[in-house]
Amino acid sequence: MPETSTKPYLIRAIYEWCTDNGFTPYIAVFVDANTNVPREFVKNNEIVLNVSFDATSGLEMGNEWISFSARFGGVSRKLDVPVDNVLAIYARENGQGMAFPVERSVPETQAATERELNPPPKLAPVESDGAAQADGADTSDDDDPNPPPVPRIGTRKPSLKVVK
């Protein structure tokens, strides 16, 4: 009998920790052909999803799939994410969570086709009051490769920090 992966259990544990402490759990997902998410919000074959109770409906976190419905631009969409494609789960407010290795197997030709068919959306800047986002996607455009070591709160996207 093959050994069961610890990844889905760790994802559920961090999710529970976030909700118990009043934090907003986000998952970063590698998007491939097996991932059912709104492609217009995918950037570089990745999407960040708000999986809080307020942002989802019918959330199921199984050992193979994470499935739920979420609203994007006011329209409810059904999402299915393979657990193997979860890059990280973390609290939006402080960036604490866990990252996972994911085999990125999208051929370059497919990635180029997806970029052509689904260019990043043109979004107007929005002033944030620091309230939790109720939409299913994180649409911030913060691409800073070297985030500061202190978790950011407010209008900028949180970063994961390694805790030993």
Question: What is the domain partition of the chain in residue ranges?
Answer: 7-117
Of residues 51 and 107, the one with the higher pLDDT is 51
For 31-85, list the strands marked E by DSSP.
Answer: 46-50, 56-61, 65-72, 75-82
pLDDT of residue 109: 45
The 10 Å Cβ neighbour count of residue 113 is: 11
Contacts of 113 (CB under 8 A, 6+ apart): none
Kindly state the DSSP code that residue 41 receives in the 8-state scheme. Answer: G
The answer on pLDDT for 29 being more than 90 is: yes
Q: What is the DSSP string of 114-150?
A: HHHHSPPP--------SPPP-SSB-------SS--SS
User: For residue range 45-89, what is the model confidence (pLDDT) as tens digits?
Assistant: 999 999 999 999 999 999 999 999 999 989 999 999 999 999 999
Residue 126: which pLDDT band, with cuts at 50, 70 and 90?
Answer: very low
Q: What's residue 1's pLDDT?
A: 77
The tokens describing 17, both together, are 């920790």
CA 89 vs CA 116, 121, 141: distances in Å: 29, 24, 19
For residues 131 and 88, the model is more confident at: 88
Q: Tell me what the mean pLDDT of segment 29-40 comes to.
A: 94
pLDDT > 90: what percent of the chain?
57
**What is the pLDDT, as a whole number, of residue 30?**
96
Q: What is the mean pLDDT of the chain?
A: 78
Q: Is residue 27 predicted with pLDDT exceeding 60?
A: yes
The C-alpha atoms of residue 17 and residue 7 are separated, in whole angstroms, by: 15
Q: Which residue has the higher pLDDT, 159 or 130?
A: 159
Residue 81: HSE in the Cβ half-sphere, 13 Å Cα cutoff: 33
Q: What are phi and psi of 100, to 5 degrees?
A: -130, 145
pTM of the complete model: 0.64
The span from the CA of 38 to the CA of 74, in Å, is 13
Task: Give me 39's structure tokens.
Answer: 């492609």
pLDDT at 121: 52
Query: Which CATH number describes the domain made up of 7-117?
Result: 2.30.30.220
pLDDT at 9 over 90: yes
